[in-house]
Structure formats: structure tokens, C-alpha cells
Amino acid sequence: MLRSDQLLYRINHPHIKPGFVDPRAPFLLDIAGELLNIYSSAPDSGMSRQELEEITASIIRSSPAVRIAAGLNKLLTDRCEFAAAVEADYPLLRQQIFLKSAGVLASGNFSAETLRDSAGVPPDMDIYGDLPDFEKISGFRPITPPALLDRYNLALAQGLLLYADRLTVQIPEPENSMLRKLLKAIKFFRLFARFTMLKKHLLQIEISGPCSIFGPSAKYAMQLANFFPAIVLLPKWKLSAVLKIKGRMLTCNLSHKDHLVSHYRTLASYIPEEIKLFHRTFAKKQNEWEIVGNTPFIDAGNQELIFPDLSFAGKTDASLIHLELFHRWHASGLRDRIALLAGQPELPLMLGIDRALVKDEADFEQLFEACPHIRSRCWLFRDFPGVSSTLKALEKVRKNLHRSQ
């Protein structure tokens, strides 16, 4: 990810546009190639992080496009792996040297060598080898100059989305299999999104941005930026984001016509480890329900669609009940969903609510003062729901739905 001082953009109020570069421009390919030559050889040369920074700084200063070169360099640094110069307990080594230094100084026979000898430190070993500047480059993920420039353009857009107040994505003619994978990506990055079918073949996704979230929004901003390459994989898409930059509200419009290239190879089916564990535990703990593989959407009326996190089918009846999770960043949509359930109690939907969204049990109960009849289908969890609480809610929802039929 690029730093804020490395972002290039143009403002034509109220619009803002990333300063995309031509990935085929010869002089940019030369800059990328020169930097890549340094990084590609660094792991085999035993180069330290400090030495790498000194060499690349010289290339950046002499570049005809200093800010672009600095951005490319940042992306290349992110592709490196660093390790301590030698596997050792550096804090202990330093402690031994410092503790014994008093005795060496008192003897009057002081030198760096005697300090090292007394502590048992080899003469060619740097006692600060665990600090960042002295780390060695142990690995580098290769990339070509054109691909690096494509990655730079994508990073410019991602960098601006870190300042999003909200964004809207429109997907014409969404293909079902790709759409499901995109929705799984939204769930994987724990973004809060609203889905609306504007027309028969036009899906709109509204996603809350980090600047509209209270609490730990820095992590949410990174989640949103990391989700963006999944959008770029779509054949057709249009994005409009409202950004809060330097006290101004600006609009950034992007689409597939910007020819951005995603570094994600495919819209993979994102399955976090916590969900895998839930699936395994759920199957072992009971035999009344099974988790549906392809979670369907729920038509909530008024063109709004709900894409649940998990769906459960009863093995002995035709029950199909869905679970939607509200994590710590989803406060803005929780009350709306509770209101929707209050008005449509026939919806086979239950809600798992992260404890980070409520102060205490009393605060949780207050959410249902106007609609106590849906309290039984909502419960609290921490990080991810437990199987036992999910099973209890499933049985309650099934009974209530059977009564209303």
C-alpha cells in the first residue's frame, strides 16, 4: 500500500481522480526495471534493509518522476521478506555486553574487542542485527516492470479509498457464480454492504467507508482497500466513492474503463479459518441441521436484497433459516435490520451481533424495546458465533415460523 505522501491525484472540485500512469511508457518501464534489478539481486547479495534504502534512494533522486519512483519503490519493499542477520537472542547478547562493560571499564583494559570477547560475541557479528535497519533481505516476490506499473495504478486507487466516507458499486448483468464469490469477499473482509437490484440486470452495492465508521476505522480502511481488487476482476463495474480529504468532500468515479489490473488471480472463494472451524464443529455437535453450501439471497422488499453469512436447512423438515452477522464495524446497519425484521417477522432470518456493538446486556436489550417479538432470534457473540448459541436460536426461529404459518 502507498503512503499518503506518495499518492498522485488530480482535483477538479468536487471530483478527484487518481493520477494513473501509462504502464507502457518507456521511461516508466526503465525506472521500474532499474529498481527491479536491485530488488531481484538483493536476497543473494546479503544486502541489509539500510543498504537497500541507500541504493534505491539514489535511483529515486535521479529519476525524472521522483514521486512515481518512490511509490514503485514502496510497492517493491512490500514484496520483500526480511530476517535478522544471524539467528540469535540479540536482546540477551546486548544485555550481556552492557552488564560486563562495567567490569571491563574498571579494569582499564577497555576496547570493543574485549567487550565482545567477555560476552562471547563473534567479532563479525553485529549486536544490533535484529533492528530493522540491519535486517537482511531474505526473499523477494518477483514481478515484471509492466505488472509493477499496473500494480501502482491499482495502489493509487486503493490509497484514495482509505479516505472513503461511502462508496457505491454498480454491476450490470452480474453473473451468478462470480457474484457469489464477490459477496464472499465482502463477507471475508467484514465490510458492511447494502444490496439493491435497481433493475432486472443491475445490482447496486453500497458499502460504508472508514470515514463513516466510529471506532477502529484504520483496520476497516485497510479491509476496504484490500477488497477493491476483487471488484476490478469483474468484467464490468462502476464505482463512485465520496472521499473526505483535507477537510473537503470529493467524489471519485472509477470503472472498468480505467483498465485497472487486479493482482488477485481469481475471485477465490474466501473461507476464513473461523468459518471452517464453525462448519466442522457444527457437523459434529448435532444432526438436525446442515449448512447450505450456496447461501441464497433474501428478498427484503423495496428492491433490497440480503445476503446472509450462513444458511441452515433442517434435515427432518423444509426449514431454511439464514444467519446474518453484524461485526464491530456494522453499527450503522444493525438498527435498520432490526427494524426490517420487526416489520417482516416472517423472514427466516436471525442476527448474530458482536459484543463490540453494545455496551452491556442492558444496552443489548434496549435494541428490542419496540419489537420484543424478535428478541429471540438475535444474540451476542465475540469475534464469531458459537455453535451452541446458533443451535438455540435456530430452534426458536423454527418454532416461531411454524406458529405463524
Write out 245-299 in H/E/C secondary structure: ECCEEEEEEEEHHHCCCCCCCCCCCCCCHHHHHHHHHHHHHCCCEEECCCCCCEE
Q: Which residue has the higher pLDDT, 343 or 400?
A: 343
DSSP state of 87: S
Give the lowest-confidence range in 203-212, 282-291, 311-320: 203-212
Taking Cα atoms as reference points, which of 154, 116, 126, 141 lies closest to residue 21? 154
Residue pair 391/283 in contact (Cβ under 8 Å)? The answer is no
Q: Compute the average pLDDT of residues 18-43.
A: 96
pLDDT at residue 209 above 50?
yes
What residue ranges do the domains of the chain occupy? Answer: 90-128, 162-269, 273-404
Helix or strand or coil: residue 136? strand
Task: Identify the weakest region by mean pLDDT among 50-54, 304-308, 368-372.
Answer: 304-308
Helix (H) or strand (E) holding 55: helix 49-61
| 144 Cβ contact partners less than 8 Å away, ≥ 6 residues apart | 36
Residues 288-321: pLDDT tens digits?
A: 999 987 766 888 888 888 888 889 999 888 889 9
Is 58's pLDDT higher than 90?
yes
Prediction pTM value: 0.79
Largest CA distance in the chain: 94
The whole-angstrom separation of Cα 398 and Cα 54 is 66
Question: Which cell numbers hold the place of 175?
Answer: 453473473
Distance between the two ends of the chain, CA-based, in angstroms?
53
Greater confidence, 108 or 133? 133
State whether residue 234 is helix, strand or coil.
coil
The values of phi and psi at residue 49, to 5°, are -60, -40
Nearest to 38 by CA among 84, 66, 80, 82: 80
Residue 142: pLDDT band by 50, 70, 90 thresholds?
Answer: very high
User: Concatenated DSSP letters for 362-375?
Assistant: HHHHHTTTT-GGGG
Mean residue pLDDT of the chain comes to 86
Residue in the structure block whose three cell numbers are 489490473: 261
Q: Give dist(CA 121, CA 124) in Å, integer.
A: 8
Using pLDDT thresholds of 50, 70 and 90, give the confidence band for residue 216. very low
The top-scoring range by mean pLDDT among 114-128, 138-152, 372-386 is 138-152
Note whether 334 and 368 are within 8 A (CB): no
Of the pLDDT bands very low, low, confident and very high (cuts 50, 70, 90), residue 323 is very high
Q: Look at residue 273 in the predicted model and tell me its pLDDT.
A: 79
More confident residue, 176 or 80: 80
For residues 332 and 224, give the distance between their C-alpha atoms in angstroms, rounded to a whole number: 16
Helix axes 66-77, 145-161, angle to 10 degrees: 90
Axis crossing angle, helix 26-45 with helix 66-77, rounded to the nearest 10: 40
Residue with cell 420484543: 372
Average pLDDT over residues 154-177: 91
pLDDT at 102: 66
What does the block give as the cell for 245? Answer: 480529504
Q: 75-79 long-range contacts, Cβ below 8 Å, gap at least 24?
A: 75/2, 75/148, 75/151, 75/152, 75/155, 76/35, 76/36, 76/39, 76/140, 76/143, 76/148, 77/52, 78/1, 79/39, 79/140, 79/141, 79/143
Mean pLDDT over 342-360 rounds to 90
- Identify the CATH class of 162-269: alpha beta
Compute the distance between CA of residue 392 and CA of residue 354 in angstroms, rounded to an integer: 17
The strand order across the sheet containing 304-306 reads: 9-12, 15-18, 248-255, 238-245, 164-172, 202-208, 193-199, 304-306, 298-301
70-124, pLDDT tens digit by residue?
999 999 999 999 886 666 677 777 777 777 766 666 666 666 666 656 655 666 5
pLDDT in tens, 13-23: 899 999 999 99
pLDDT per residue over 228-275, tens digit each?
A: 999 999 999 999 999 998 889 999 999 999 999 999 876 555 567 788
Q: Is 379's pLDDT higher than 70?
A: yes
pLDDT higher for 21 or 210? 21
What does the pLDDT read at residue 231? 94
The helix (H) or strand (E) run that includes residue 360 is none
Q: Which residue has the higher pLDDT, 215 or 190?
A: 190
Give the residue-averaged pLDDT of 185-210.
Answer: 86
Helices (H) and strands (E) in the chain, counts: 12, 16
Higher pLDDT, 220 or 133: 220
Section 31-37 average pLDDT: 97
Strands 320-326 and 310-314, sheet pairing: antiparallel
- Alpha-carbon span 249 to 261, nearest angstrom: 27
State residue 74 phi and psi, 5-degree precision. Answer: -60, -45
Mean local confidence (pLDDT), 372-383: 90
